[in-house]
Amino acid sequence: MLYWFLKKILVGPLLRVLFRPWVEGLENVPTQGPAILASNHLSFSDSFFLPLVVPRRITFIAKAEYFTGRGLKGWISRSFFSGVGQIPVDRSGGKASEAALRAGLKVLKRGELFGIYPEGTRSPDGRLYRGRTGVARLALQAKVPVIPVAMIDTEKIQPPGKVIPKIGRVGVRFGKPLDFSRYEGMENDRFVLRSVTDEIMYELMELSGQEYVDVYASKVKSQLAAKKALAGTAAGDAEEARAEG
């Protein structure tokens, strides 16, 4: 109920008026039956604009931190993401993510749409990064098509770290469904999973026009954070040296 209330009455109409989202290829999204919507990830607002333009309900996975916060902010975040039916995922990878993938499989087996960001996290610089193979495992296990989705210019209205978006126009571009039935029964083959994931990422690159980087975005974010911390330490040492001098 909260999902449709936000989409149809509270948030949806406001987003349409302020940001005038344009859409291409919506006919590629099936009107019934299960499918995976695999999207690039530029901004927190992606999870608002993609459901806004698709008539059917989409269930996403969301990082576990949205469900574990403390205080008023944590309660609001937890209530919102739980209320709209999002599934928490531990982004440390490996076995920690298996529960979220199983939950996604349940969504697909119910004949619904499941949204996922193969990069695993938002792009730190607007480029498209290497995909995680969870999307491939889901597609092969559930035997469903994958619809590639390119979010356009959402990072311009709400870049990482910005809470309140600025007014601007954004777009959503849907590609043709990708059929991986030729790999049936190979969902445990890591080479097949990588091949399927890379095919999805190639389609996202073509749809979005982004530069592709064959590195995980999480690794790049860790490197940027380390550099920032190092720079902060160096600045502190310099300030201390000046004070002593």
pLDDT on residue 95: 61
Contact 73, 99 (CB under 8 A): no
Q: What does the pLDDT read at residue 5?
A: 76
Q: Write out the two tokens for 189.
A: 């083959």
The partner residues of 62 in beta bridges, in order of sequence, read 88
- The pLDDT of residue 234 is 54
What are the tens digits of pLDDT across the range 3-28?
777 777 778 888 899 999 999 999 99
pLDDT score recorded for residue 3: 74
The residue to which tokens 């749809």 are assigned: 207
pLDDT at 235: 55
pTM for this one?
Answer: 0.85
Rg (CA), the chain: 19
State pLDDT tens for residues 96-123.
567 778 889 999 999 999 999 999 889 9
pLDDT at 240: 56
Report the C-alpha gap between 28 and 21 in whole angstroms. 18
Amino acid at 154: T
Residues in the chain with pLDDT values less than 50 = none
Residue in this structure with the two tokens 């149809």, named with its chain if needed: 8
Query: Strands 113-116 and 35-39: what pairing?
Result: parallel
- What pLDDT does residue 64 have? 74
Dig out the tokens for 199 from the structure: 């095919």
